[in-house]
Amino acid sequence: MNNTLKTIGIALASSIVTIGGYRMLGLEGKDVIFNEASAPSINRLANYTGSGAAPGDFTYAAELSTPSVVHIKAKSSRMVRQQRSIFDDFFGEDSPFGMPRGGSQQQESSGSGVIISADGYIATNNHVVEGADELEVVTSDHKSFKAKVLGTDPSTDIAVIKVEGANFPAMAFANSDNVKVGEWVLAVGNPFNLESTVTAGIVSAKGRNIGILAQKQQQMYRRNGDDRQQRTTDAIESFIQTDAAVNPGNSGGALVNLKGELIGINTAIASPNGAYAGYAFAVPSSIVKKVTADIIKFGNVQRGYLGISLIELDGKKAAEVGSKVSEGIYVADLVENGAAKAAGVQKGDVIVKVDGVTTRSSSSLQELIGRKRPGESALVTVSRDGKLRDINVTLRNRDGGKDFLKKEVAESNNAFEKLGVDLADLSSGDKQKLGVQGGVVVKKIYDGDIADYTQMREGFVILKVGERRVSSVNDFKAAIKEAKENGDEGVMICGTYQSASRTTCYGLSLE
């Protein structure tokens, strides 16, 4: 990660540990009714004085948007270890008593959310609700509601939560494609637990890719053993950049235009210390609308994929790959069963437009494709041999099909991803050396439940999860899923290290 990306910080009020704590609800087939923006003249919304076009009155946008922004309070718990015990001295950390010792520590954090429908659907950030055991929503008129998480999308850092009730003041969606650099905007949220705070600024840039979600997604897919090419394009980062002040607690709040309409969800800040340092980033409303609609209707996001490995061109990159075109998206490779290859896109093509919209950056391409579902079409304009060609591409899902992916699959993947571990099937040679029939080896341990709750080290060979023997990575996933479905608070993971002859067991919390 370069020095620029090191300064990017997610605008969290405090850390929420990823431990599960929510369930998706069965709402498949339900549509949400969004408020669409009208097109009144902007002249009556803000007064300007003199030829310098200085801002005047933002009260209209503030009064219209503030009631639609809520304060989200999240409670979560995590296991904490106590100091070394007598068992450590007698048996060492690899002892069969190597379960986490300590208790459950309560943590609280807060963020913001935007009411998107009159019947209580609220859009926010994934990182605001991730790992929460309990959610409280406080409206601008200080009414309190319990909320449930309907679903999340780490690829965009968007989540949907639901409160019971009716006639909530839903915010109207503006078309984020129409947002202009230099346009005045307001950020509405609850920074530092200061409710209903409004700050003003301008749009500093569009289509900004800061790499923070892509890095997180790549780590997640590696944990899941997924090294396919399209995983590099899962994260959709085409942020609206603004200099309106955004601080911890603003996450999930609204970025609105001078008509009080939603143009984005505030998500991240550029900061060396976690506080506002000049720039903030919001997920465009076009992406928010698509993601929230999918979560409400299907329980998870239905995302279409082109199935390409891409390079964003500039003069230098064009020379390196031998392209005559110096702007656009160079197709470096194609997924074998991907949509682009099936439609006739070729390696070496340069994608210059999607549905008539120019694609000069990978982030703009990701945003345009990310608005569509599997089975939907995209008109892709490519430059090939100096000529422009329009290719109609029918998008596919991550597995190369045109069907929607069931939410049960997403839930199962999430349960495994939260463990923070990269596993591989045990080779026949290692099986013979250890004298076992099966097993999986821990190749890498990341931040996650394994690191939080156990002292497991890389190289550990897992032989059993609870009473179930493990012969493959799929067996391990199935055993963890079964334990969670049974409502088990924890499970024993037993195995051995290749350098040791004894069995070691670790206790893993599943709360």
What is the set of active-site residues? 127, 157, 251
Q: How far apart are CA 425 and CA 471, in angstroms?
A: 7
80 closest CA partner among 444, 456, 416, 509: 509
Mapped onto helix, strand or coil, the DSSP state of residue 290 is helix
**How far is CA 502 from each of CA 96, 374, 458, rounded to the nearest angstrom?**
9, 49, 17
Structure tokens at 93: 């950390």
Single-letter amino acid code for the residue at 290: K
Structure tokens at 85: 């015990």
Q: Where are the alpha helices (DSSP H) in 194-284?
A: 212-223
Structure tokens at 479: 């055993």
**How far is CA 158 from each of CA 35, 80, 90, 359, 494, rounded to the nearest angstrom?**
19, 29, 48, 23, 36
DSSP state of 88: H
Query: What per-residue string of b and e applies to 364-386 under the rule 16 or more CB within 10 Å gives b?
Result: bbbbbbbbbbbbeebebbbbeee
Q: How far apart are CA 233 and CA 214, in angstroms?
A: 8
287 closest CA partner among 303, 307, 311: 303
Q: How far apart are CA 155 and CA 127, in angstroms?
A: 11
Mapped onto helix, strand or coil, the DSSP state of residue 177 is helix
Structure tokens at 87: 């068992």
467 closest CA partner among 442, 436, 493: 493
Single-letter amino acid code for the residue at 334: L
**How far is CA 192 from each of CA 97, 109, 115, rounded to the nearest angstrom?**
42, 10, 20
- Specify the pairing of strand 328-334 against strand 69-79: unpaired
Contact present, 309 and 232 (Cβ < 8 Å): yes
Q: How far apart are CA 272 and CA 5, in angstroms?
A: 10
Q: 357: which strand partners?
A: 354
463 closest CA partner among 490, 440, 435, 482: 440
Rounded to a whole number of angstroms, the distance between the first and last alpha carbons of the chain is 33
